[in-house]
Structure 1
Amino acid sequence: MKITTNRNDLLAALNKVIGVVERRQTLPILSNLLAEVQDAELKLTGTDLEIEMETTVSVQNIEPGRITLPARKLFDLCRGLPESAAIELSVTGDRATLKSGRSRYTLACLSADDFSSLDSGELSQQIELPAAELLKLIQRTQFAMAQQDVRFYLNGMLLQLRPGTLNVVTTDGHRLALARFETTDDQAKQPTADLIVPRKAILELSRLLAQVDGNVVLHFNQGQIRVQVDSLRLTSKLIDGRFPEYERVIPQHSDKHLVLDRERFRQALARCSIFSNDKFKGVRLTLGNGTLTLQSNNPEHEEAEEVLDVDYQGEALEIGFNVVYLLDALTTLPGQNITLSLRNADSSGLMTTTEEPTLRYVVMPMRL
Structure 2
Amino acid sequence: MKFIVSSTALFSHLQAVSRVINSKNTLPILDCFLFDLQDGTLSITVSDTETTMVTSVEVNESDKNGRFAVVAKTLLDALKEIPEQPITFDINDTLEITVQYQNGKYSLMGQNADEFPQSAALGDNAVRVEMGADILLSGINRAIFATADDELRPVMNGIYFDITTDDITMVASDGHKLVRYKTLVARGNERAAFILPKKPANLMKNLLGKEQGNVVIEFDERNAVFTMERYRMVCRLIEGRYPNYNSVIPQNNPHKVTVDRQMLVGALRRVSIFSSQSSSLIKLRMQENMIVISAQDIDFSTSAEETQVCQYSGNAMSIGFKSTFLIDILNNMSASEVVIELADPSRAGVIVPVEQEENEDILMLLMPMMLND
Normalising by structure 2, we get a TM-score of 0.91
Structure 2 counterpart of 1:210, one-letter code: G
The structural deviation recorded for 1:279 is 3.3
* Residues in 1 aligned to 2:244 and 2:90: alpha-carbon distance in whole angstroms: 53
Name 1:103's counterpart in structure 2. 104
The structural deviation recorded for 1:122 is 7.2
1:248 equivalent to 2:250? Answer no
Q: How does 1:329-368 map to 2 (within 5 A)?
A: 329-356=329-356, 358-368=361-371
- In structure 2, do the counterparts of structure 1 residues 88 and 110 end up closer, same or farther at CA, with 3 Å as the change threshold? closer
Secondary structure of residue in 1 paired with 2:34: strand
8 Å Cα contact 1:272-1:306 kept in structure 2:
yes
* Residues in 2 aligned to 1:332 and 1:32: alpha-carbon distance in whole angstroms: 35
Give 5+ residue unaligned stretches, structure 2: none
Q: How does 1:1-368 map to 2 (within 5 A)?
A: 1-59=1-59, 60-120=61-121, 124-147=126-149, 149-183=151-185, 190-298=189-297, 299-356=299-356, 358-368=361-371
- In structure 2, do the counterparts of structure 1 residues 231 and 263 end up closer, same or farther at CA, with 3 Å as the change threshold? closer
* Residues in 2 aligned to 1:177 and 1:216: alpha-carbon distance in whole angstroms: 22
The structural deviation recorded for 1:148 is 5.3
The structural deviation recorded for 1:99 is 2.4
The structural deviation recorded for 1:54 is 0.3
RMSD of aligned Cα (Å)? 2.0
- In structure 2, do the counterparts of structure 1 residues 354 and 315 end up closer, same or farther at CA, with 3 Å as the change threshold? closer
The structural deviation recorded for 1:239 is 0.6
Q: Deviations over 1:175-219 (max 9, x none)?
A: 00001011465x7xx121111001111111122221122222212
8 Å Cα contact 2:70-2:109 kept in structure 1:
yes
Normalising by structure 1, we get a TM-score of 0.92
Structure 2 counterpart of 1:103, one-letter code: G
* Residues in 1 aligned to 2:307 and 2:151: alpha-carbon distance in whole angstroms: 36
- In structure 2, do the counterparts of structure 1 residues 347 and 121 end up closer, same or farther at CA, with 3 Å as the change threshold? closer
Structure 1 window deviating more from structure 2 (263-272 vs 107-116): it is 107-116
Structure 1 window deviating more from structure 2 (333-342 vs 279-288): it is 279-288
State, as a whole percentage, how many aligned pairs show the same letter: 28
The structural deviation recorded for 1:119 is 3.7
Give 5+ residue unaligned stretches, structure 1: none
* Residues in 2 aligned to 1:353 and 1:41: alpha-carbon distance in whole angstroms: 46
* Residues in 1 aligned to 2:296 and 2:362: alpha-carbon distance in whole angstroms: 31
Structure 1 window deviating more from structure 2 (34-43 vs 108-117): it is 108-117
8 Å Cα contact 1:41-1:61 kept in structure 2:
no
Secondary structure of residue in 2 paired with 1:359: strand
Secondary structure of residue in 1 paired with 2:361: coil
Structure 1 window deviating more from structure 2 (23-32 vs 239-248): it is 23-32
* Residues in 1 aligned to 2:90 and 2:22: alpha-carbon distance in whole angstroms: 24
Q: Deviations over 1:69-92 (max 9, x none)?
A: 111221111111122252334244
* Residues in 1 aligned to 2:253 and 2:90: alpha-carbon distance in whole angstroms: 65
In the alignment of these two chains, the number of paired residues is 365
Structure 1 window deviating more from structure 2 (113-122 vs 194-203): it is 113-122
* Residues in 1 aligned to 2:45 and 2:148: alpha-carbon distance in whole angstroms: 28
8 Å Cα contact 2:272-2:323 kept in structure 1:
yes
8 Å Cα contact 2:257-2:312 kept in structure 1:
yes
